[in-house]
Structure 1
């Protein structure tokens, strides 16, 4: 990024913060405010803040989430995801005048039926329990693959020199970044942490931070001629059943599984003993061509220009992803308002293939959301799209790595009694940042960080390429985007159910983001767009696009 653009972005950030502070002192725009740039003025009785009685209570949200929790892990194209989609469709049937449509995709779905690991030390063989197969790992023959074992530290690359012809024991710890990074002026717009619970001297942990490291390991192991990979997590196996990552939808060319900390320690000790050590890995899996749909539900407003709200339908547990639970409630609420209270149309999009990222192109990520973002990119230039709001992992509670209560190796995840840090990435627009800031504070969404991006700025268009989740493809396609996501350490683990959600927090988020949609309906497009028109001009002039994520 040029020095001039750095200065401009710093000025924009300062302006945004001042605007956000001002928003706290000025009441929300009255219903009788003048119409904005081609939008009809909302009627006097139109609400900005929704009536809590018109949306599900915390208890009702728990009941709705219970259905999701009962489905367990929902990889793309699995029956469990299809059942969630059917539930969403049944809910949308209760939304007056919603125009519901589907876009179906054919994928080559992978599914494992069983896995087995035998450790042989000298002449003694022992069965080692497996926590989970790596999604889309290469299946073995019925007898499995047998090879000597080698332990390769996480910081050391897997190469032919150290892995060829062997089964690799590979530590796969959660990644981390210093909390301080979130406070940097080139990363965040604003931090709302009134109780000072986010310690800048500590670190933020998550498997997703090391996601690309696992992708690289699988590619490197295959290229090196490894016979298999045993990824060792720091957690006990009881917290890891069906652990699910990475989710590219890419067929990996090596068998691979996840082990818990105890099993990993047992194998590591065997390797260190100096005795001859080998393993036999069996992974039974198959592919099947299936269809998987993205659901769209449009609610007409006074203008055909629409606000798009997105959350995906595949996921791991009750919190990933419960965004659709909130969205169907929002849709019912907005559809019940008088037509005059929807200055813009609102479209609710429920993409598939978050867990099959390379949906339409093996060389590009972003799954079903990427397909929608590509379509919206074209429509934005025609004035048919106003903004995008993505919602992920609502009400998530925070888990920390703690010493194991049973004294075993590694750590266990335990709730610290706080809500998970909520990240909201926002494309550069002071009024948009101010609107989100006001909602966050009004609904006391503690531990919220408003991000410019989930990465360092670069000399690309846009300058921040990563929004940390489902918002990323919309941002990359230069759409005014608000990408909300919480990222608890339990995210990839189906063993965490309803106990991973604080439903009072989810209820506040539902109210707050519904109000935000109301606010987006009355803002002018210039206010919403911010720097987007400039970035689109830079792209048209040959500005560097965002590079592939992995």
Structure 2
């Protein structure tokens, strides 16, 4: 084998390697004891390509803007359904007259690409742009949607005579992380909206891993692409789950509980509507302090995907 490709970091490794399932692993291992040989070949062309991104603005009565973002490069129904959420929210809000309370804020819908190749994630340059514009601009909050409405799947031992484990639906919804940066106004609105819609399985958190006050932001991750905006000190809240079906296209649409997905999107809409009376400063919370601390030289966890994981061959 000549090598393998790592899509996350955009690197083509020349070290021999292949990923195997549990049954295939035992088959290969047992065959090797008898010095058997086999071949595997994947023919592919490599090269630089462009991906498409879309940014759409729906004007409101106020120029203060809420940005709703999701990535467009998922491999499964769970990976990709944030895009469907953006389209549904855009369709709803666009149908409301300008005089409606629903149109109090300007909304921007961001369909970014390249997330699965982290070093070229489209949210990175977009977050940089928002950071540069934030202090003198109208952008007030980023809401990120990923992996919504997922059904819980858990592993169990494989039937007798088979290797490894098998995945089965439990009948419950997948636990979902709803990260909210250091803005009490958004924390309260998110918590109230979840309770009002009686959604279970949501964990409202300031982020992860444990709090580190030696740098800003104190919580360095929001679990997904919300992390990029959060790390650039843009007020951010993001939804993400991580079911066992996340990387398994074989589950298809059965991995999604569509009634649950719809309710989750309604909760997002509730949060957007509840933000109407809040000014940009009222939404910002401690992000304003973070930005001032950074300006005064306090250690800042700047995203460095492009320098840490530059795309290209690796020997």
2:26 corresponds to? 265
Aligned residue in 2 for 1:105:
none
Show the counterpart of 1:250: 11
With normalisation by structure 1, the TM-score equals 0.52
Q: Secondary structure of the residue that 2:45 maps to in structure 1?
A: strand
Correspondences of 1:187-226 after superposition (within 5 Å): none
Q: Are 1:516 and 2:296 an aligned pair?
A: no
Structure with higher strand content: 1
- The Cα of 1:492 is off from its aligned counterpart by 1.1
For residue 104 of structure 2, the aligned residue among 343, 354, 376 is 343
Once the two structures are TM-superposed, the CA of residue 334 in structure 1 deviates from its matched residue by 1.1
Quick check: 1:307–1:521 contact (8 Å CA) kept in 2?
no
Residues 1:299 and 1:228: Cα distance change in structure 2 (over 3 Å): closer
Larger radius of gyration: 1
In 1, Cα distance between the equivalents of 2:40 and 2:95? 56
For 1:522 and 1:406, locate their aligned partners in 2 and report how far apart those are by CA, in whole Å: 60
Gaps of 5+ in 1: 1-144, 146-226, 230-243, 360-366
CA contact (8 A) 2:130 2:139 kept: yes
| Correspondent of 1:433 among 187, 193, 207 | 187
Contact 1:432 1:527 in 2 (8 A): no
- Report the alpha carbon displacement of residue 255 of structure 1 after superposing the two structures with TM: 4.1
In structure 1, the partner of 2:313 is none
Task: Provide the residue aligned with 2:56 in structure 1.
Answer: 297
CA offset digits 1:381-434 (Å, max 9, x no partner): 113201000011121011101112364111111111111111011101222111
Q: Is 1:355 aligned to 2:111, yes or no?
A: no
- The offset of 1:356, in angstroms, is 2.2
Q: Where does 1:125-136 land on structure 2 (aligned, <5 Å)?
A: none
1:332 to 91, 108, 118: 91
Moved over 3 A (4+): 275-283, 547-550
Alignment size in residue pairs: 302
Within 1, Cα distance between the matches of 2:260 and 2:42? 41
Output one character per residue of 1:185-211: Cα deviation in whole Å (capped at 9) or x when no partner. xxxxxxxxxxxxxxxxxxxxxxxxxxx
Q: Spell out, residue by residue over 1:238-257, the C-alpha distance to the aligned partner (whole angstroms, 9 max, x if none).
A: xxxxxx97522223333432
Whether the aligned pair in 2 keeps the contact of 1:245 and 1:492 (CA below 8 Å) is no
Structure 2 Cα separation of the partners of residues 414 and 375 of structure 1: 43
With normalisation by structure 2, the TM-score equals 0.89
Show the counterpart of 2:294. 539
Give the match for residue 173 of structure 1: none
Matches of 1:368 and 1:305, distance apart in 2:
23
Q: Deviations over 1:158-179 (max 9, x none)?
A: xxxxxxxxxxxxxxxxxxxxxx
Match of 2:171, SS state, is strand
